[in-house]
Structure 1
Amino acid sequence: MHFLHRRESGHPWVSVIALTFSIFIVNTSEFVPIGILPDIAESFSLTSGEAGQMITIYAWLVVCLSLPLTALTMKVERRKLLLGLFLLFILFQSVGAWSPSFPALILSRTGAAFVHSLFFSLAIPLVVSMAPEGKRTKALSYAASGTALASVLGMPAGTLIGHYWGWHSVFGAIAVLALVNLLVLARSLPAMAGDDSRIASSMKKMERNRSLLMVYAILFLGVSGYYTFYSYVVDFLQNGAMISRGWVPFILMLAGIGGVCSSLLFPALYRCSPRYCLYADIIVLTGVLFLMDIPFSETAALRIAGVCGLVMVFTVFQLILQSRIFILASGYADLANSLFSSVFNVGIGMGALAGGRLLNGGADVDRLGFAGAFFAAAALASEWAVLRFADRGNLQADLQKKGGKDD
C-alpha cells in the first residue's frame, strides 16, 4: 500500500539508507535519556524516578499526537514535510544541549516528541515508496533495523559520550548527526505528493485482522516489562555490586554488541521455527527479568551478564514481532509499522512510569526486574493463547508464507 505519488530518484537505495539512518537518529534521541538518567537527575537535584518522568512524557506525547498530526498533514508534499521536521528536530536537540533547567529539558523533549509523533507515519511509507520494484520487504527490514540498532547501539554510544563530555553533549551530538543526515536527504529524496485515498480501507483491514491485533497486545506487554526494568538500568548496575559509573557506558556498549549479534543470528533462529520462536523468546525474557530480583544477581559479573542477556533477548523479541507485521499485514505493512511504533511508545511510557512509581514509593531498584517479569508473563500468556486457540492451519500458513522471499 502506498500513500504517496512518487517521482523517480536516480539513487533509490541512497534514499532508503538515509531514511533508515534518520529512523536510527530519532529513536536514539528517544532511548538515550535512559543511559544518562542518573546524570540528569543529579544535575537538577532530582531522584531517578522523578527524572524518569520525561521518558513517560515523551513516549505518551508521541502516542497522543501521532494520529491527529498524521491526518492533518496527509496531503502535504512529503519531501518538504520530512525536511521541515528534521529542521525542527535539530532545533529541539540543540535546546536539549543548552538546557539550564529541568523544565527547559522537558521543553526540548516535548518538541522532539512532536517531531517523532509525525516522523514515523511519514518515514515508513517513504521507505516503501523509494524501494526499487520488488524490494519493498527488504527496504522495510532496513527501516526496522534502524529502530533495533538505536536501542542496542545508539543509546550505549550516547551514554559513553555523556560520561566523558557531560549529558548536554549527547543532545548536541544527535543534532550534528541529524544535520548531516538532513543534507543527504535533501540531495537524495525526490518530491512526493501526499495521498490519503486508501487509509480508511487499510484501517478497516487492520481492525479485522485479529492475529495482527494480538501482535500489538504482545508488543505492548513485552515492551512494558522490558522498560519497567531497563529505564533504570544504570541504577541497577551501580546498586549492590558497586559497579562504578565510569564502567556503565562500556557495559551498555557490550550489551549493545550482544544485541547486534542476536539480530544477525535472528534469521536462522526464525527459520527454524517461525511458529514457536516468539513463545520461546518470551519465556527467556520473563526468566531473565525474574532473575534480576534474586540475591545471587548482586555480583557484578552476574549483573553484567543479566543485562547483556536481556538486551539480546529483547532484540530478538522486536525483530520477531516486526517480521510478523510484514507477513500478517501484507498490502498495508507501512501503516501497520507506523502503528507498531505507537504501541511501542505506549509500552515505553508504561514501563518507565511503573518503574518510576515503584522507585518513588521506596522500592529497591532490584525489584524492578520482578515487576517487569509480570508484564512479560502476561505477554507469554497472550502468545500461548494465540498458539492454543488461533486457527492453527491458517496461522501456520501465515507465518511461513513468503518466508525468505521478497515481494
Structure 2
Amino acid sequence: MPFVLPLLGLAVFAQGTSEFMLSGLLPDIARDLHISVPAAGSLTSAFAVGMVIGAPLLAMLSMRWSRRRALLAFLVAFLLVHVLGAVTTHYEVLLATRFVAALANAGFLAVALATATAMVPPDAKGRATSVLLGGTTMACVAGVPAGALLGELWGWRSAFWAVALLSLPALLAILWSVPADRAPRFSDAGPGTRGELRALRGPRLVVLLLLGALVNGATFCAFTYLAPLVTEVTGIGAGWVPAVLALFGLGSFVGVGLGDRLADTRPVPLLVAGGAALLLGWTVLALTAGNPVAALVLVFVQGALSFAVGSTLVSQVLYAATGAPALGGGFATAALNVGAAIGPWCGGAALTAGLGFRAPLWVSALLTALALVLAGVACGARRRTVRRGVPSAQDAPA
C-alpha cells in the first residue's frame, strides 16, 4: 500500500472532524454570534448541501488537472475557509465558509478516492477505499470528542483553528508524495466528461449508488439522534454522551477494518450478511434501548456493521465505474452525503410527529429494509436477464 494513502487519510480525518464537530459546538456558536440554536444548526445543513453538490461538480471541473494540483487546491481552500471561520464575527460569513468548506471537502474526497484506487493493484480497490474512509471513522472516534473538548476549554473558534492546523501536514505530504505530472485519468485520451456520465448511467452503478445512500441514511439517522436516545431512553447521564458517540466511532473504525479485509475478496457475502445483520441490529436496538448494557453493545456493533457495509459499497462503485475513473468517486461521495442529509431529516420528522426517541432507530431499520429489497429486486432482474441470454455483465446490478 503506497505511503501517501495514510497521509491522504489524515486529510480526510481533518475534514471529517470539521463535518461532525459542530454537534458539540452549536450552543457556544449561538451565544457568541447572538443567534438561535436552530440558526446555528443551519451551519450543519449548509455543509451537507455543499457535500452533495460539490462531489460530482468539482470532480468534473478538476478532470483536466493533475491529481496533485486538484488535491492541493481543494485542501488549501479547505484550510483557508477554516481560518476565516475562526476569526469572523458574522453569522453569514461563517455560514458561507461552511458551504465552501464542504465543496472543498467533497472535491478532495472524490479526487482522493480516484487517486488511491489508481495507485494500487486492480484487485485492491477495497483496501485503498478503507484506508481513506478510516480517516472519517477516526474523526468520529477522536476528532469529534476532541473538538468538543477544545470548544469547552477555549471556545468554538479553537476547534476551527485545530482543523486548519491539522490540514497542514497533509498539505506538505501531498506536495512531497503525489506525482506532479498529469495523471492518465485526466488526459485527453480518456473518455471525457460526457463519456464518464454515460458510464455512470449503467443500472449496476445506479443500484450501488442508491444502496450507498440508503445505508448511509440509516447510519446517520441513528447517529444524529444517539445523544437524546441514550439520555432519555437508556438513562445514561449527559456527561457520558461523548463516550457513547466515541463508542459508535470505534465500532465504525473496526467496521472499516473488516471491509479492508473482505471488500476485495468476498464483497457479496459481506454485503448480504452485513445488510441482514444491520436490519436486525437496528430493530433489536429499538426494542432494547432501555437496557444500558444492550444499548452500548449494539451501538458498537451497529457502528461496525454500518461502516463495513458502507465502505464495501463505495469500493464496489469504484470497481463498477471502470468507464468513469474520474467521476466514480465523486458520485459515490455524493450518494453517501445524500443519505447523510436525508436520514437525519427523516429521523427528525419522526421525532416531530411525536413518535418518541426510539423512532429514528425504526427509521434506520426501514431504510435498511428498503436497501435489502432494492438489492433483491436488482439481483432478480439480473438473473432474468441472464436466463434470457442477454449479455449484461457490465450493466446488471450486483
Q: If the TM-score is normalised by the length of the shorter chain, which range does it land in?
A: 0.7 to 0.9
Which residue of 115, 124, 127 maps to 2:104?
115
Q: CA deviation at 1:42?
A: 7.8
Q: CA deviation at 1:98?
A: 4.4
Which residue of 294, 308, 327 maps to 2:319?
327
Greater mean deviation of Cα atoms: 334-343 or 187-196: 187-196
- Retained in 2: the 8 A contact 1:289–1:310? yes
Within 1, Cα distance between the matches of 2:371 and 2:100? 32
Which residue of 132, 136, 150 maps to 1:146?
132
Q: Which residue of 1 aligns with 2:292?
A: 300
Deviations 1:311-362 (CA, angstroms, capped at 9, x unpaired) = 0110111132133224333454553222111111111111122233444555
Which residue of 195, 213, 224 maps to 1:201?
195
Q: Which residue of 2 aligns with 1:135?
A: 121
Within 2, Cα distance between the matches of 1:96 and 1:364? 36
Q: Which residue of 2 aligns with 1:376?
A: 368
Q: CA deviation at 1:35?
A: 5.6
Which residue of 207, 210, 214 maps to 1:217?
210
| CA 355–96 in structure 1, closer or farther in 2 if over 3 Å, else same | farther
Task: Tell me which amino acid in the other structure corresponds to 1:82.
Answer: L
- Retained in 2: the 8 A contact 1:224–1:349? yes
| CA 389–211 in structure 1, closer or farther in 2 if over 3 Å, else same | same
Q: Equivalent residue of 1:191, what SS?
A: coil
- Retained in 1: the 8 A contact 2:129–2:315? no
How does 1:252-401 map onto structure 2 within 5 Å?
Answer: 252-266=245-259, 274-294=267-287, 296-330=288-322, 332-391=324-383
Q: CA deviation at 1:244?
A: 2.8
Q: CA deviation at 1:234?
A: 2.3
Within 2, Cα distance between the matches of 1:182 and 1:52? 30
Deviations 1:257-296 (CA, angstroms, capped at 9, x unpaired) = 33333333346666896434312222222222233433x3
Within 1, Cα distance between the matches of 2:66 and 2:258? 39
Q: CA deviation at 1:305?
A: 1.9
Greater mean deviation of Cα atoms: 346-355 or 23-32: 23-32
TM (norm. structure 1) is 0.80
Within 1, Cα distance between the matches of 2:244 and 2:380? 39
Task: Tell me which amino acid in the other structure corresponds to 1:165.
Answer: L
TM (norm. structure 2) is 0.81
Deviations 1:170-200 (CA, angstroms, capped at 9, x unpaired) = 3322211101211222233332335354233
- Retained in 2: the 8 A contact 1:79–1:189? yes
Name segments (4+ residues, structure 1) moved above 6 Å. 41-45, 392-395
| CA 309–74 in structure 1, closer or farther in 2 if over 3 Å, else same | same
| CA 96–70 in structure 1, closer or farther in 2 if over 3 Å, else same | same
Identity across matched positions, percent = 23
- Retained in 2: the 8 A contact 1:38–1:235? no
| CA 301–92 in structure 1, closer or farther in 2 if over 3 Å, else same | farther
Within 1, Cα distance between the matches of 2:340 and 2:284? 21
5+ residue gaps, structure 1, are: 1-11, 400-407
Q: Which residue of 1 aligns with 2:177?
A: 188
Which residue of 51, 55, 73 maps to 1:84?
73
Q: CA deviation at 1:58?
A: 1.7
- Retained in 2: the 8 A contact 1:163–1:246? no
- The alignment's C-alpha RMSD in Å is 3.4
Within 2, Cα distance between the matches of 1:361 and 1:105? 31
Within 1, Cα distance between the matches of 2:358 and 2:46? 24
Q: Equivalent residue of 2:268, what SS?
A: coil
Task: Tell me which amino acid in the other structure corresponds to 1:13.
Answer: P
- Retained in 1: the 8 A contact 2:70–2:108? no
Within 1, Cα distance between the matches of 2:88 and 2:326? 36
Which residue of 234, 237, 251 maps to 2:227?
234
5+ residue gaps, structure 2, are: none
Q: Equivalent residue of 2:331, what SS?
A: helix
Within 2, Cα distance between the matches of 1:316 and 1:206? 24
Q: CA deviation at 1:154?
A: 0.8
Within 2, Cα distance between the matches of 1:231 and 1:380? 22
Within 1, Cα distance between the matches of 2:134 and 2:320? 20
Q: Equivalent residue of 1:13, what SS?
A: coil
